[in-house]
Amino acid sequence: MIKRNLLCFFLLCYVFSSAQFPVARFDGSTPSTVVSLPDANVKSTSQLQKLINNAGPKGIKISIPAGNYTLGQINLASNVHIDIDKDAYITVAPGNNVLFNLRTRKIKDPKLENIKIYCSNCDTSKPAYDDDRYYTIDYTSYGPKVRIRAFSIERVENFHISDFKVLDNYTTHSAVNIVPLITGPFSKKDPGNTDPNVNNRRAVAVAKKGDIINGCITGAAYGYGLIQVQCAVDVSFKDLYGVGGVTLRFESGAGATYIGTLIDTDIAVIKGIQAQNINCTDGKVALMLSPHGRIHGDVEVRDVTATGCGFAVKAEGGFIDREIRDPNNFSANSNPSKYKKGIFQSVKVTNVTAIYKSNTAQIKAKDWKFYPESIRLKDFNEFKKSPNGGIKSPTKPVIRYKTPSIAPISYTSIDHENDIIPKMKGLTDKRYAGNNEGDGKFNVEFTGTISAKGFLDCFDSINNTIYDEDANSNYCQ
């Protein structure tokens, strides 16, 4: 009986652990050497960087106590853990466009491994945006359009980032930016030269095996937000919140002129992704998928909520970047025959909640055509003034803030509800082989509950989803 009970116990433990979502990827060990950053002072950046540089192969755990710090361009190294107190308030130093760099500049440099930036005394039981739930990164002193990031993530494996609040001011770039390492020669004067000594610029590495959890941003611009993933393999995301912009964006495009669609197909891609509890308030969208010209793998997301945003979920079809359409930008790797409209091979989204608000969303001029007629036909000139057109954004005149929510789900990666796209059979699929451009279409599997509150009643009859063919149509009566 005891053996049977023990067997049942272990089986239950196995079932419970196997059901964990998202999967915790990071399993790095904590360094045995522990030090504390000295009290905040004008030399905090150099002091922190010196601790990292002198850590040695066994690494170091650095505690950043409560206090006000000015830091910038901190370059992480392998086996470095940074524990930041919840009452630490970090301002990004003037002249720096990144706070923390998790990247290597050259392929000959060893990849970064076992990096953790977190807050051990943050209280995740507190509500979203509560000061006790995060440490704070502030770049509100930077004006709109300034290029700045809290975390730049590139060639790193086995990493963990958590417990951060970013105070933004409509700056350029998402707070967390995950991009490929692109290296190699490139000749602007002779971009079509196939000599690898002249043109061989390509993606060589991406971020792998990581967790990004418990983060938020306020004051984000329409085109940016909390996190943008250009490429990543086996990374989990959880408990993410954004006021403004896009909370979690899976959108490639970096290095498009060097990376043809069928080039580096297992490197500069997004795959093995799991995410849960993704939230947007008064912004563009909570979850966005836009493959541009890459063939991405699998993404699974659960529990998406948008309050007063343009959409809760936005899935866009692949397209050919304008840089590629410019013949002056073609490189040996990325000529017209090698660049096609991208897709995601597998996307599953479970449980979506969208709450309508009449004057808080962020939209672009191109979004106007997807409003229900009751708003859209009032006259597009209202977009340029008021009331439904909101106010001009501080970044671009074609963007408006304080507009009505549009729809719970924007599913424009297909034309209509019954548009079933065959699963791609590999890189020789007829849609992408040879000179075929590829159609850029992909399906999203929506499961669970799609809930809409405050939208027109007609949205219930269309499952709270609009498609590409619904542009400028009377889809909601």
Per-residue pLDDT at 189? 77
Per-residue pLDDT at 116? 99
In degrees and rounded to multiples of 5, residue 9 shows phi and psi of -60, -45
CA distance 426 to 429: 5
Is 181 within 8 Å of 107 (Cβ atoms)?
yes
User: How many Cα atoms within 13 Å fall on the side-chain side of residue 256?
Assistant: 25
Say whether the peptide bond before residue 397 is cis (omega within 30 degrees of 0). no
Per-residue pLDDT at 356? 97
Angle 81-82-87 (CA atoms, 0-180°, nearest 5)?
155
CA distance 157 to 153: 10
Closest CA to 69 of 94, 99, 46, 91: 91
Is 355 within 8 Å of 308 (Cβ atoms)?
yes
Is 149 within 8 Å of 173 (Cβ atoms)?
yes
Place of tokens 């990325």: 334
Per-residue pLDDT at 234? 98
Per-residue pLDDT at 386? 40
Take residue 237 and report the two structure tokens written for it: 């995301």
Closest CA to 347 of 243, 442, 457, 212: 442
Per-residue pLDDT at 382? 62
Say whether the peptide bond before residue 22 is cis (omega within 30 degrees of 0). yes
Is 229 within 8 Å of 179 (Cβ atoms)?
no
Per-residue pLDDT at 8? 54
Per-residue pLDDT at 340? 85
Per-residue pLDDT at 17? 45
CA distance 297 to 347: 8
The alpha carbons of the chain give a radius of gyration, in whole angstroms, of: 23
Per-residue pLDDT at 431? 78
**E strand or H helix at 243, and its extent?**
strand 232-243
Place of tokens 């709270």: 464
Helix (H, G, I), strand (E, B) or coil at 210: strand
Residue-wise pLDDT tens digits, 9-60: 554 554 444 589 999 999 999 999 999 998 888 789 999 999 999 999 999 9
pLDDT mean values, one per 10 residues, the chain (477 residues): 52 56 98 93 91 96 97 97 98 93 86 98 98 97 92 98 98 96 83 81 92 98 96 98 98 82 84 99 98 94 99 95 68 64 95 96 90 78 53 75 94 95 80 74 97 93 95 89
399-403 and 391-392 beta bridge pairing: antiparallel
Per-residue pLDDT at 330? 60
Chain centre to alpha carbon of residue 285: 12
Take residue 276 and report the two structure tokens written for it: 């849960």
Residue-wise pLDDT tens digits, 277-322: 999 999 999 999 999 999 999 999 999 999 999 999 999 999 988 7
Per-residue pLDDT at 41? 80
Sign for the CA dihedral angle at 43, 48, 51, 52 comes to negative
Per-residue pLDDT at 327? 60
CA distance 185 to 336: 20
Q: In the CATH hierarchy, which top-level class contains the domain 174-470?
A: mainly beta
